[in-house]
A and B are shown apart, each in its own frame.
Chain A
Amino acid sequence: MHYISILSTLVTVVFTLAVFNRYRRRGGMHLLLWGIGLTFYGLGTLSEAIMLYTFNSLALKIWYISGAMLTAAWLGEGTVHLLVRKRGVAMALTAALAIVSLASIILVAMAPITSAAGSFNVQAPVSSQYKDILVRNGAIVLLTILLNIYGTLTMVGGAIYSAFLFWRKKVLANRMLGNILIAGGALMPAMGGSFIRAGLPDWLYLSEFIGAVLMFTGFLWATSAQPVKGTQPA
């Protein structure tokens, strides 16, 4: 089942291109940040796919930086730009995230790899083995916690809040449903760690795949042109 990460990478690449293409046509800081977040998502699943065949310390570090630290935070930052009215606040948060991300990349790049790398099992998920291989100091662990909580809260919480607003006003049903799908999809990889602890490591890969598909479907739904009542068909 863990070969699903290859499929997840393909879905994420198409999703990322769709978001960047929309940004190119319409602009919008939120689209740029979602594109960056999705690039990290794709890098995470791609490095997972590489480690299905062989262990590579660079792939492990890219997987940790992108998948475990930066994806959720950058996706959530896009939602912050969509929902926070005060542009200065959103830009300040983005600048802070950029600095924290840079610090995270440096810290993980400098983190030592243990001899346990020699007994890396390609049949088992990297999520269940990385703690023995990558030496994470207190700063890395703290940043991982903060970035994941910030990202999950803003991405999922923002999508739930947006869906609630559309529901309360009873407008734009496509955006309401799209946001529900995005919230559900973003929760999937966030729950991946729980699947590992529950002894279901393969479900991590499935959750990443379902997460990418749900978010992509939600994005397409939310950005589709909705037929409006009272207009004549073309």
Chain B
Amino acid sequence: MKPTSKRFSPTTWTERLVPLVLGLLLLVLIITLALVALSLTGFIP
């Protein structure tokens, strides 16, 4: 029986796309948290 593997080999475009998407999500998360805090405290309407 051949050994099983859960590893994957990213293609050239996923090699670039995934870090970009993760970075974008992190940026949106930070902006969202800032907006939530500012709006709920009344600093922005």
Contact = CB atoms under 8 A, between A and B. Distances in A.
Interface of A: 141, 144-145, 148-149, 152-153, 156-157, 160, 163-164, 167, 170-173, 176, 180, 183-184, 187, 190-191, 193-194, 197, 226, 228-232
Contacts of B19: 167
Contacts of A163: 18, 22
Given A170-B9, A197-B44, A226-B6, A190 B36 contact: yes
Given A148-B36, A152-B29, A167-B18, A172 B6 contact: yes
Nearest to B41: A145
Report the interface size class on chain B: 20 to 34
B contacts with A: majority SS: helix
B37 A149 contact: yes
A65 to B, nearest CB: 15
Contact of A149 (B8, B28, B33): B33
Given A171-B6, A172-B6, A157 B29 contact: yes
